[in-house]
Amino acid sequence: MDTVTLTTSTGVDLFAMLAAVLWYAIRIGAALQVLPAIGGRTMPVRARLILVIALSATMSTVLPAPPPMGVDSATVLGVLREFTVGIAIGLVLRMAFEAGQLAGELVSQGMGLSFATMADPLSGASSPVLSQWFFLVFSLLFFTLDGHLALIGLLHDSYASLPIGQALPDLQALLSAVPAFFATALRAGVLLALPVVMALLSVNIAFGVLSRAAAQLNPMAIGLPVSLLTGLILLMLLMRQLLAPVQALFDSAFLAARGLIG
């Protein structure tokens, strides 16, 4: 084989490998972009791009090569399908993190810390400090419980169930599965904050009764520090019992995400 033929064949192989990596990068990149622990402003764009390319290159070596597609309407629909599947998987997992932020907002209102806000790196808006604290705790537990490895396995299995270029079996079921998990995430967030919220409500009611019995007692000067101190103690106790419910929530999120891919 002469040099020209060798260079041409090698170039074709390289272009084919690059096309496969780019096809896998669409779904993986869409899922990681939506996932809070990795996507958004929490990770630099270059670092996330390197991670997506690395995962896509790894997937291309263990999965079948995508079918060749030209520049036509079928290719455009294929790209839109890949984006749809990736975003749907990322949104389901993101709702698990949103449950933690909801719990933080409920607790912050009971502690009187709803005015203490900071910029949310995900949405760019302001959110309570406790919501950010719960988000960081959920992110640490996500990696502690090997959620990143489960995510890679989920993406790998998604290509086995929904290969590249294949039409989605039921688009309506795929789009309705994301709101269906919303109820589970909402219930988990409320249940996480419920013990702390009820205890703080009892403290606030007690100081309200005292302020009515003794008018000279200022509920803002006495009740707010006590509520803050009680809330911090309850959060410290909650941290010791947070692993099991968060793990169950992540398991439900991955189960719902697997339901998306059939």
Q: pTM of the prediction?
A: 0.81
DSSP three-state, residue 207: helix
pLDDT in tens, the chain (262 residues): 444 444 455 555 666 778 788 888 888 988 888 887 787 677 788 888 889 999 988 888 888 777 776 666 567 788 888 888 888 888 888 889 889 888 888 888 877 776 666 666 566 666 778 888 888 889 899 999 988 899 999 998 888 888 887 777 666 666 667 777 888 888 998 998 888 888 888 887 887 777 777 666 666 667 677 778 888 888 888 888 888 999 999 999 998 888 877 6
Exposure of 253 by Cβ count < 10 A (0-12 exposed, 13-18 middle, 19+ buried)? buried
DSSP three-state, residue 128: strand
The amino acid at residue 10 is T
User: % helix / strand / coil in the chain, to the nearest 5?
Assistant: 75, 0, 20
Instruction: Give 127's DSSP letter.
Output: E
